[in-house]
Structure 1
Amino acid sequence: MTSAVASAVVRRRLRALLGQRSRRRWIHLVLGGALLMPYFLLTSVLIASLDRGTDPFRSLLWQFIAYLTALPLAAATALFPLVRPLSATAARSLCGLPDDAELAAEPAASWDARTRTAQWFTLHLGVGGLVSGATLALYPFAAYLMLLPVIGAPGDGDPGWMKAVGRHAPLGPVLGVAVAALVVLVTAAAGALLARCAPLLLGPAPADRLAAAEARAAALASRNRLARELHDSVGHALSAVSLQASAARRVLDSDPEFARQALTAIEETTRAAVGELDSVLGLLRVDGEGAPGRTAAPTPTLADLDGLLSRTRAAGVGVELSRSGALDRLPPVVSREAYRIVQEGLSNALRHAGQVPVRLRIAVPRKEELEIEMENPVREATRGRRSGGGRGLRGIAERAALLRGSSDWGAHGGTWRLVVRIPLSAEGPR
């Protein structure tokens, strides 16, 4: 059992060093070395032109100096925004990253992202250049060592390093395998280093994450706003039409005139609902399609309150309205949201209480606040169910909160009471 476990461990280690992921990482490193070559050749030519007696292609020291000088040039070119998605694509394809690794797909838009891309590009080219050099130099050297017993000792005209190696010809195969294994280990370590650094340097920058979070929050707020508008406008119309149709059906034979009036009210209610639906969907058309010269239909305000109340009364709900204060001078956003709040309050009365009298008071008791108060009797059959609230009441609370206002509702002594207060200094949703 012990030998089987040891054999499995060895196979797993060999697969990690020589498997497909390691080979792809080696290709990625060699690609980095290939990208470094233009910079290396440029710095080598510059060094040769500055010192005519120096041949950087024959001196290992000058080659290393040219290599170090080429890295800052590579970092400078990596500041171009398009380097980021190109590097991310190569890393995602060849680095063997985890499935949850997040790399940027867009060009670098901030200096933070550009700097991080430059760091990655320099690391990739620097490590890739070393691995490429080791691949080109040490693998042939390892093969030479392995064949040394067959080739025989070097001659007098061979380089000094070959003569030094030739003194240990019997150990050549062992040394060759060791050199080849060393290159494999270094390549695997370099590939693992790049795989670890890729999400850190090519992943979304903090500014990108913040921008993405803000975009998601804006999209969610837009969806919630659309949901509130649809719920309030269409929901109220459907509740009113349901009651109107029910009343018309009950008296169709006994009171045709009333049925005719109910059908007329249904027609007017649905026409108004279609207009409000077009207004709500117009928000999507303007933001999404961007049709030139096309704007959304105007959203109803408190100036349209009389039409809303007449349609509600046609459904058999008696609405007693009390108004006070300069309601015609309200800020537009406050007037629009106040209309929707009243509409939803009436919808709640229609859905949960039916044809009961509703008392509505809209006032500006102080110059800095609008107050909406609505009361209606609560039926015993629906009292417990309604006290829990629903989407409509939650939408009222959201509308009030967005304008820095407050809302309160509940049943008190057999009467359902809704109170909303909105400061007139609210210039828009926060």
Structure 2
Amino acid sequence: MRTSPGGPRAWLRAHPLIGDSALALVLAGLSIWTAVLAGTGDPSAGYGPFRTPDALSAGLITLACLPVAARRLRPLTMICLAEIPQIALAALAYDGGLSRLASLVLVYTVATHRGLALSLVAAAASTFSHLAEVVAGGGREGWLQQTFAVVVTLTVWVVGRSVRLRRVYLAELVDRAERLERARDADTRAARAEERSRIARELHDVVAHHVSVMTVQAAAARKVLDTRPEAAKDALLAIEEMGRTAMREMRGIVGVLRTDAEAGEVAELAPQPGMGDLPGLVDQMREAGLRAQLWVEGERRELPPGIDLAAYRLVQEALTNSLRHAGPAARAWVTVRHDPGELTVQVEDNGIGANGRLARGSDDRPGHGLVGIRERVALYGGILRIGPRQGGGFEVRARFPLEDSHR
């Protein structure tokens, strides 16, 4: 049967002085009773019986047992107080009954609640008391009995130390488990924050690129709607296709965050774009009105997935900013160079972006897109340069280190 949280045991643990006081009274009563049963005969009989118990012996037995009541407060002091009446009982030839149990309880208490040094002092004090009783009693109980008492005392001390070490070990295990739990929670929070940051960058790249292209196309359609309706129609079709592409990519990114129960269906997970998709990206920018060109230099190689996506997003963000800020007559160049052990990606334009609008949002704060680019490039140990271009315009240049597969 389990003990309820508010049961007697819990109450006694919360009030140890009451329980220990009751234990001291029980030990005193049992010791006086056993001393009365054994106390007969003449004290001059050498190894014979003890003196008849009287009020003095009862008082001494009580004094030997009462320190148990304060055993949790000052157990070492209580041992010293308990041993003095024991020596007096031996000197006056009184039988102490079970009063020696009080000393054992106190030795056990010191061994379980105090350090090694104090517990050794307690064991030594109890052993010295046994020797003193032999001397004070004139060898009445004999060395054999006192030796047995010393062995029992040391055994109780060893058991108490074992209990203390086990408690310390269990407390260390609990503390270690709590530390591991806190570390795991911290790692989980950090992983979630990193994942949220990654998803935010992906969403920004997708939304900013496609919405920027759609905005430019809508502006172009508005300008030619009355004079060139066919051109306006083509622009609207491009906006429609761009919107569908944006929705498809957003579902692919957000879908990984939704469980089957929340989504009701399996999310559409499309492959992440990479450097192989740059021709299509450049074509989209041309359709949106930015005169963009793509050059690929060197021997193409298979890139690590992370670098492949990071380089693609860099080009996408740079071209999107050129479309938004470089001006209507601007041109852009994308250069991808594959060198041994390195990938270089460079996006330039000759527009009015050199005044710094490429690197800042409309509210004059650093744009999230370029912040995301910096994080992506730094994540893979790359070097990034963003700034004005010689001769006018703006430049975004990144170098990614690669492992040379020919080594």
Q: TM-score, normalised by structure 2?
A: 0.57
RMSD: 5.0
Partner in structure 2 of residue 407 of structure 1: 384
Residue 80 of structure 1: aligned partner? none
What CA distance in whole angstroms lies between the structure 2 residues aligned with 1:295 and 1:230? Answer: 16
Structure 1 residue 309 corresponds to structure 2 residue 286: no
Helix, strand or coil for the counterpart of 1:400?
helix
| Residues 285 and 291, structure 1, Cα contact 8 Å, conserved in 2 | no
2:239 paired residue number: 266
Matching of residues 22-421 of structure 1 within 5 Å: 27=10, 139-142=22-25, 157-158=36-37, 166-167=55-56, 179-183=68-72, 200-205=172-177, 214-284=187-257, 296-327=269-300, 329-353=302-326, 355=328, 357-376=330-349, 377-379=351-353, 380=355, 382=357, 385=360, 389-412=366-389, 414-421=392-399
Structure 2 residues not aligned, in runs of 5+: 1-5, 40-49, 76-108, 115-163
TM-score (norm 1): 0.54
Work out the CA distance in 2 between the residues paired with 1:156 and 1:417: 103
Q: Secondary structure at the match of 2:238?
A: helix
1:139/1:229 CA distance change after superposition, 3 Å: same
Which amino acid in the other structure matches residue 391 of structure 1? H
Amino acid at match of 1:141: A
Structure 1, unaligned stretches of length 5 or more? 1-22, 31-93, 95-130
8 Å CA contact 1:318, 1:355 repeated in 2: no
Q: Indicate how the Cα distance of structure 1 residues 384 and 425 shifts in structure 2: closer, same or farther if over 3 A, else same.
A: closer
In the other structure, the counterpart of 1:78 is: none
| Distance in structure 2 (CA, Å) of the matches to 1:25 and 1:357 | 86
1:11 is matched with which residue?
A: none
Whole-Å separation in 1 of the counterparts to 2:23 and 2:34: 19
Q: CA deviation at 1:373?
A: 0.8
Does the C-alpha gap of structure 1 residues 275 and 137 become closer, same or farther in structure 2, counting only changes over 3 Å? closer
Structure number with greater CO (CA < 8 Å, separation at least 6) is 1
Deviates more, 1:356-365 or 1:270-279: 356-365
Higher alpha-carbon Rg:
2
Does the CA-based 8 Å contact 2:207-2:246 persist in structure 1? Answer: yes
Shift of 1:269: 0.9
Number of aligned positions between the proteins: 300
Q: 1:415 to 1:196 in 2, by over 3 A?
A: farther
Deviations 1:3-41 (A, max 9, x none): xxxxxxxxxxxxxxxxxxxx99973996xxxxxxxxxxx
Matches of 1:287 and 1:426, distance apart in 2: 42
1:265 Cα offset (Å): 1.2
CA contact (8 A) 2:336 2:344 kept: yes
CA distance in 2, matches of 1:288, 1:295: 15
- One-letter code of the match for 2:176? P
- Aligned counterparts of 2:215 and 2:335: Cα–Cα separation in 1: 27
Q: How far apart are residue 391 of structure 1 and its match? A: 2.0
- Residues 79-133 of structure 1 show CA distances to partners (whole Å, capped at 9, x for unaligned) of xxxxxxxxxxxxxxx9xxxxxxxxxxxxxxxxxxxxxxxxxxxxxxxxxxxx8xx
